[in-house]
Amino acid sequence: MKKKDKNTANTAGEGEPEAQELSSAPEGEKVSKKKKRLKTALLILAVYAVLVAAAAVAVDGRHVRFYMNGAGTVTTECGQPYKDPGCYAVTAGRLFGESSRHLPLSVEGQIDTSKTGEGELHYVARYLLGRYETVRHVQVVDTTPPEIRLLHQEGYEPSWLDGYTEEGFVAEDLCDGDLTEQVRREVQGEKIIYTVSDAAGNKTQVEREPKYAVTAPEIHLTGGDTMELIACRTFTDPGFTAVDSQGNDLSSYVQTEGQVIPYEPGSYELRYSISNAAGETVSAVRTVNILPAPSPEAVQPSRNTIYLTFDDGPGPYTEQLLDLLKAYNVKATFFVTCNYPDYFDMVGRAYREGHSIGVHSASHNYYEIYASEEAFFDDFDAVQEMIYEQTGSYTNLLRFPGGSSNTVSSFNPGIMTRLAQAVNDMGYQYFDWNVTSGDAGETTKTRQIVQNIIDGCSGRRASVVLQHDIKDYSVAAVEQVINWGLNNGYAFSALGLDSPSAHHGIAN
Ligand code: ZN
């Protein structure tokens, strides 16, 4: 409450017009004396009345009095609309007290609450000829801390793999506006703390604790932690799954280490690992035990037996050979190649007619097939596929090109030792021979070939005869051999897994 009385002098001004009226009073000397006296009396009365009124006004001291709600100095919050507590004014005097009527007030000045600072409002009242005012001081202050809003991405699911990816936040201050850039983000354990201060030093801190799979995924090995396999051509990993506790499939992030050589018996370890952004790693280990296939004992035939074997076909003479064997009901063995595709169907026929089929070589190129185990088995598989196409099954018989005792493979030291072991471990049986027909270069004479075979087989319990059915002079020897054998008490038989293998000593 404050009142201004500097303008109380104005009340004196109020009397001036009447004083002027007074100075312009008596004039008529021509009116009657009575009338003149009356006029004089009235005038005296009027002057007296004016003097009394002026005295009353002066003594009353009538002026404007302000009543302000609230303090003369108030504070208001930055960024929020200013609400003035209000003010009213009345007239007041010594003699007649306060008027109950509020004078019309105007307010001059504005309070800018968009920033901190000081402002003034002037309440102005007019009374008679005077202007009265009082002032309110307003301090715009910022005591409200900024607000941090944490955003959430619809459908976002953090995982153990990536950890938590910030979903976003917004910081706003009534006074300073957008403070998002000033937010400090700190990871404390499993919590994230967000802090920001406004220009007035008001500080806000919020936190979030993202709910996600903090536990590591489990790697489940399909097929078990331990596998036992018979030595074979290829090992196919049965697979694995990695799932975190939120159900996220992380399998594609699993790295596999280790190698299994499937044709080499032994114990192998495969390690499956998955690492996350935080550098944590989860692993599982699979032990793969490669076991050698059981190899049946070779059984000696109960009577002298001739095992006719033909390498390097099928070829142009295979059909007539099969006709002959059929006519005599003699079973033989064909170690086949892929060199003459026109005659592949002879493989099927031979198989159906009770002959044995074995792998020889697809390419029959020593330098290719003995370059490595991989190269050998690639070639081996090619023959197996051809055999499968013609017969509907794979074979477990083979003959190494050049025989197991070859030295043409010595450019790759030890390869024959390793291959012989590998094929045995995989359940194959390889055959060499103990009777040479001589058709591999020694002679092209059928008569000589017949003689070589007869000489070789004579008196032998198990004769494994090497011939080549791509050579007509060798095929031409077969009928005489059969006749000699049958006439001399020999049996003819096709080779099987448990037949005498006629192994040579391995030289490489
Ligand atoms: Zn050959």
Task: Kindly report the CATH number assigned to the domain that includes residue 97.
Answer: 2.60.40.10
Residue 111 has a CB neighbour count (10 Å cut-off) of: 19
Structure confidence at residue 21 (pLDDT):
36
Structure confidence at residue 157 (pLDDT):
74
From 269, 291, 313, the end of a domain falls on 291
Structure confidence at residue 78 (pLDDT):
93
Q: Domain containing 188: what range?
A: 147-208
470 CA from centroid of ligand 1 (Å): 10
Tell me: do 372 and 435 sit in the same domain: yes
Tell me: do 281 and 325 sit in the same domain: no
297 CA from centroid of ligand 1 (Å): 26
Task: Give CA separation, 190 vs 160, 238, 242, 250, in Å.
Answer: 13, 37, 23, 22
* Rounded distance between C-alpha atoms, residue 385 and residue 98, angstroms: 122
**Partner residues linked to 267 by β-bridges:** 289
Structure confidence at residue 22 (pLDDT):
38
Give the pLDDT of the chain (508 residues) as one tens digit per residue: 334 443 333 333 333 333 333 344 455 555 578 888 888 889 999 888 888 877 776 788 888 999 999 999 999 999 999 999 999 999 998 888 888 999 999 999 999 999 999 999 999 999 888 899 999 999 999 999 999 999 998 888 777 887 788 999 999 999 999 999 999 999 998 899 999 999 999 999 999 988 765 577 889 999 999 999 999 988 999 999 998 877 788 899 999 999 999 999 999 999 999 998 888 899 999 999 999 999 888 999 999 999 999 999 999 999 999 999 999 999 999 999 999 999 999 999 999 999 999 999 999 999 999 999 999 999 999 999 999 999 999 999 999 999 999 999 999 999 999 999 999 999 999 999 999 999 999 999 999 999 999 999 999 999 999 999 999 999 999 999 999 999 999 999 999 999 999 999 999 9
Beta pairing, strands 226-230 & 281-291: parallel
Tell me: do 480 and 396 sit in the same domain: yes
503 CA from centroid of ligand 1 (Å): 16
Task: Kindly report the CATH number assigned to the domain that includes residue 465.
Answer: 3.20.20.370
Tell me: do 111 and 178 sit in the same domain: no
Structure confidence at residue 213 (pLDDT):
55
Tell me: do 227 and 199 sit in the same domain: no
191 CA from centroid of ligand 1 (Å): 74
- Please state the pTM of the whole predicted model: 0.62
55 CA from centroid of ligand 1 (Å): 152
Burial of 466 (0-12, 13-18, 19+ CB in 10 A): buried
* Rounded distance between C-alpha atoms, residue 246 and residue 163, angstroms: 12
Residue 42 in domain = no
Tell me: do 369 and 413 sit in the same domain: yes
325 CA from centroid of ligand 1 (Å): 21
- Residues annotated as part of the active site: 311, 468
* Rounded distance between C-alpha atoms, residue 176 and residue 270, angstroms: 60
Element (H, E) at 334: strand 333-337
DSSP 363: S
Task: Kindly report the CATH number assigned to the domain that includes residue 201.
Answer: 2.60.40
357 CA from centroid of ligand 1 (Å): 14
Counted domains in the chain: 4
Residue 219 has a CB neighbour count (10 Å cut-off) of: 20
361 CA from centroid of ligand 1 (Å): 8
266 CA from centroid of ligand 1 (Å): 32
Return the SS3 of 272. Answer: strand
From 157, 189, 208, the end of a domain falls on 208
Residue 395 has a CB neighbour count (10 Å cut-off) of: 21
Long-range contacts of range 253-262, CB-CB < 8 Å, 24 or more positions apart?
A: 253/161, 254/219, 260/235, 260/288, 260/290, 261/290, 262/229, 262/231, 262/232, 262/233, 262/234, 262/235, 262/290
Torsion angle (degrees, nearest 10) of CA 136, 141, 144, 148: 130
Task: Give CA separation, 325 vs 342, 351, 355, 433, 469, in Å.
Answer: 21, 13, 9, 20, 13
Structure confidence at residue 36 (pLDDT):
86
Structure confidence at residue 408 (pLDDT):
97
Residue 371 has a CB neighbour count (10 Å cut-off) of: 16
Tell me: do 333 and 467 sit in the same domain: yes
Q: How many residues does the chain have?
A: 508
User: For residue 74, how many C-alpha atoms fall within 13 Å in the half-sphere facing its CB?
Assistant: 19
Q: Left (φ > 0), alpha (ψ -120 to 50) or beta: where does 171 sit?
A: beta
Task: Return the CA Rg of the chain.
Answer: 60
Q: 229 near 294, Cβ under 8 Å?
A: no
Across the beta sheet with 2-3, the strand order is 2-3, 63-68, 87-93, 97-98
Which protein residues have a CB closer than 5 Å to ligand 1 (ion)? Answer: 311-312, 401
DSSP 4: -
* Rounded distance between C-alpha atoms, residue 234 and residue 422, angstroms: 12
Tell me: do 197 and 322 sit in the same domain: no
Tell me: do 277 and 342 sit in the same domain: no
